[in-house]
Structure formats: structure tokens, C-alpha cells
Structure 1
Amino acid sequence: MVYQSNSRPLGTLAQQIVDLNNQISLAQPRNKRKNKGLKEMEFLTLCHLRNKDLMNVGDIQKLLGVLPAQMSRIIRSLENRDIALISCSINSLDKRKIDVILTDAGNNAFESHQTTRVSFVQELLQKLNDEEIEDLRKLVDRLTDLILENAKTSTQLSPV
């Protein structure tokens, strides 16, 4: 069943969901993001690295959808901190590739950033009534399933 309402087109609803995600990302205190906190692309890089033991820079770049120069800046930023959040090395099989792993400090930074975001959303959810929470839970579960289905289909269709 495809939902289409004359009062709220799907494009408008989709934009609201994207805007909500952006607001959650930006809701952290500015000083935390400026100093030692993570920028959104740095956080997403750490997120991808948490899901795999090792990735190469090119694969991360493709997942994030950024240009090579942007990816280089992200990698440098994560690697050149007082305590490195990632570690880079030349791939042993293909010297043109750079392998990246998450350090313990990187894992801790990810956890801290994630906790801040979850706490913010949890504060918002506490303002909803039980029925609204249950409705939201069902919608989030359904959207999560659709995202996973889409990812599986995309992986099957794309050449490896």
C-alpha cells in the first residue's frame, strides 16, 4: 500500500524526515562540535568502521558519497588528533589502497557522540504519550525494514 495524501505530498513528508535528521545532528552543543567533538561525516566514517574490522579509504568514500579530497580531509582529521581515532596503513595486497581501522579512542569517541544524540532524542520522546510512542515505534520499525530491504537489493544489483 502506497500512502499518498493530497494534504501532505510524500515529497514534503520526506523533506521533513530529512530535516528532522539534520536537526538531531545539529542539536549537539556547538562548542562540543568545534573542539574535540565529531563532525557529521567524521561520525559516519567511524560508524562504518565500527561495522567492519578494516575498510579501505575508497570504500568508505563511496559509502559516504564524498569526493576524494573531502575523504582525505576526513581521514586526516580523524588520524591527526591528540589521540588518533583511526589508524591507516598501506594495503598489503594493493599498495594503491589505504586500509583504515578504528582505534579504541575512535570507538570511545563514537560511543560518546552516539550517547549524546540518543539522549537528545530520548528527551524528545519523553514528551510523547504512550499511543504516539507506539505509533512511532511501528513506523520506525517499518522504515528500518524498508531500508534494509533496499540495501540488500542494491547490493545484489551492484557489481562487486
Structure 2
Amino acid sequence: MENNNPLQSENHASLRLGRLILQLRRLESTPRTFGRAGALTPSEIHTIDAIGTDEGLLMKELAERLGVTKGAVSQLVDRLEAKALVRRTAHPKVSRGIQVVLTDKGREAYRAHADMHAAFYEELQQSFTKEEIAIFEQCVSKLRDILSE
């Protein structure tokens, strides 16, 4: 029996979206292993990703890039330094500026994270048509804009 009630259909879509958001939250709170770096939380690997994308970021720039306070980024960098994934150094052009750079082990985690994303996008391309991917990307962009308001 087909359901033609638009309100009930919207409710099912809302429930599916809610379940997707819960799944994403679980993923965002679960540590994953990235090469020799071992288990890293999503906030740690995203910090490594930001540093690896733009090597030599000032602590202030890193905080802005991640959308967190300087205190929060300092704590993240402390944890990553303790794991020998990043190091702080004097910035060559900014007096009193401290930059953050990846160690060899940190670069390995950065590459492992990039490989994980590449594998995910490859799986998407095998599971969906180009048109479906384009629609999905538009929907995600619009949803992000709505959530940012």
C-alpha cells in the first residue's frame, strides 16, 4: 500500500536525517587509527589535517582554521606534541610567532587520513551516479548553510 500523505513522508525523511546525524556524531566521537600515530580522536586528526594542509601555521591561524579558541588549540597541540606528531617552532618571519609543524609521524597520520578520505570518495563514486553525487553535494551545502544560520 503506497503512502501519499506528504506530512507522513516528510516525517520519515526527518527521521532518516536525524538517524544520519546521530551516525555522524558517533563517527565524530570515535577515535581511529592512522598509521604509526595510533588512535586519534577526530579533533586530533582534523588538527593534523589543518597543519598538514598549510604547514607552518601560527597557533592563532590554526585556532581560526579550526574554529576554536587559542586555549583549545593549545591543548590539542599539547596532546599531539606528547604523541610526537607535531612540534612548535619559532616562526621564521613573525617575531614571537610560534608555528606548528608536523613530524614525520604526523605526516604519516596526515597521509593516512587523506587516504581514508580518498577511499570514501571512491566508494561513493562506485555506489552513486555522477548526478546523484552532484545532488548530494548540493544538499549537503544547503544543509550546512541552514545549520550555520
Structure-2-length-normalised TM-score:
0.62
Q: 2:40 maps to what in 1?
A: 38
User: Which structure 2 segments of 5+ residues have no match?
Assistant: 1-5
Tell me which of 60, 63, 66 is aligned to 2:62: 60
Q: 1:88 maps to what in 2?
A: 88
Identity across matched positions, percent: 16
Q: 1:138 maps to what in 2?
A: 134
Q: 1:157 maps to what in 2?
A: none
Q: Deviations over 1:135-155 (max 9, x none)?
A: 6523344357x48xx8xxxxx
Task: Letter of the 1:94 partner, please give it.
Answer: S
User: Which structure 1 segments of 5+ residues have no match?
Assistant: 151-160
Query: RMSD across aligned C-alpha pairs, in angstroms?
Result: 3.8
In terms of fraction of residues, the more helix-rich structure is 2
CA distance in 2, matches of 1:143, 1:99: 37
Q: Report if aligned partners of 1:25, 1:117 keep a CA contact under 8 Å in 2.
A: no
Question: CA 1:101 to 1:44, structure 2 compared with 1: closer, same or farther past 3 Å?
Answer: same
Q: Which runs of 4+ in 1 moved over 6 A?
A: 9-14
Count matched residues.
132
Q: Report if aligned partners of 1:28, 1:117 keep a CA contact under 8 Å in 2.
A: no
Task: Letter of the 2:80 partner, please give it.
Answer: L
Tell me which of 55, 67, 71 is aligned to 1:69: 71
Q: Deviations over 1:10-34 (max 9, x none)?
A: 98777655434323334556xx59x
CA distance in 1, matches of 2:63, 2:46: 11
Task: Letter of the 1:108 partner, please give it.
Answer: E
Q: Report if aligned partners of 1:50, 1:102 keep a CA contact under 8 Å in 2.
A: yes
Deviates more, 1:16-25 or 1:101-110: 16-25
Q: 1:19 maps to what in 2?
A: 22
Task: Letter of the 2:107 partner, please give it.
Answer: N
Q: Which has the larger radius of gyration?
A: 2
CA distance in 1, matches of 2:29, 2:17: 19
Q: Report if aligned partners of 1:56, 1:98 keep a CA contact under 8 Å in 2.
A: yes
Q: 2:98 maps to what in 1?
A: 98
Structure-1-length-normalised TM-score:
0.58
